[in-house]
């Protein structure tokens, strides 16, 4: 496998797995915790505007995760998801230390980094973005 194929494979794997995890967390906020439960939980954790933040975050994580999996508007959704995770890190998880078992930030830091990497690199060759915007002559090729 040449470097280009390895890079395509690695970027696709990163984008799809990160997207899956974001979508799973968004779905969990809707289905298992419910939006009302997520709002209460966010309020208890000290998240500002928890009543508004909970449905926005749940929707971003679900829709953004699916968008990452497919590679649709990837840079935009990945950047928003990175900001989402940085908010979670600084507002909630940082005081608990590194380890997730104690409520720490290891998972949100990893997800923020994965999302930021995808935002910086774009969706890659195996994506809807590349199929739609990948022509170098396209003014929207920056999205690919």
134 pLDDT tier (thresholds 50, 70, 90): confident
Q: What is the mean pLDDT of residues 120-129?
A: 94
Please tell me the distance from the alpha carbon of residue 18 to that of residue 96, in angstroms, as a whole number. Answer: 23
Q: What is the pLDDT of residue 3?
A: 72
**Is a pLDDT exceeding 70 seen at residue 58?**
yes
**Is a pLDDT exceeding 80 seen at residue 101?**
yes
**Is a pLDDT exceeding 90 seen at residue 60?**
yes
CA distances, 15 to each of 41, 61, 95, 122 (Å)? 28, 14, 29, 9
- Sign of torsion over alpha carbons 120, 6, 17, 124: positive
Q: What is the pLDDT of residue 133?
A: 86
* pTM: predicted TM-score of the whole model, two decimal places: 0.93
């Amino acid at each position: 496998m040449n470097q280009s194929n390895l890079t395509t494979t690695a970027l696709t794997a990163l984008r799809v797995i990160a997207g899956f995890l974001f979508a799973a967390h968004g779905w969990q906020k809707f289905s298992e915790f419910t939006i009302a439960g997520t709002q209460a939980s966010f309020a208890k954790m000290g998240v500002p505007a928890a009543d508004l933040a909970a449905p926005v975050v749940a929707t971003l994580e679900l829709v953004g995760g699916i968008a990452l999996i497919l590679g649709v508007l990837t840079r935009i959704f990945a950047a928003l998801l990175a900001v989402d995770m940085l908010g979670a890190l600084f507002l909630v998880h940082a005081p608990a230390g590194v380890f997730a078992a104690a409520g720490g930030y290891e998972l949100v830091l990893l997800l923020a980094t994965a999302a930021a990497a995808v935002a910086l690199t774009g969706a890659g060759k195996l994506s809807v973005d590349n199929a739609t915007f990948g022509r170098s002559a396209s003014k929207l090729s920056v999205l690919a």
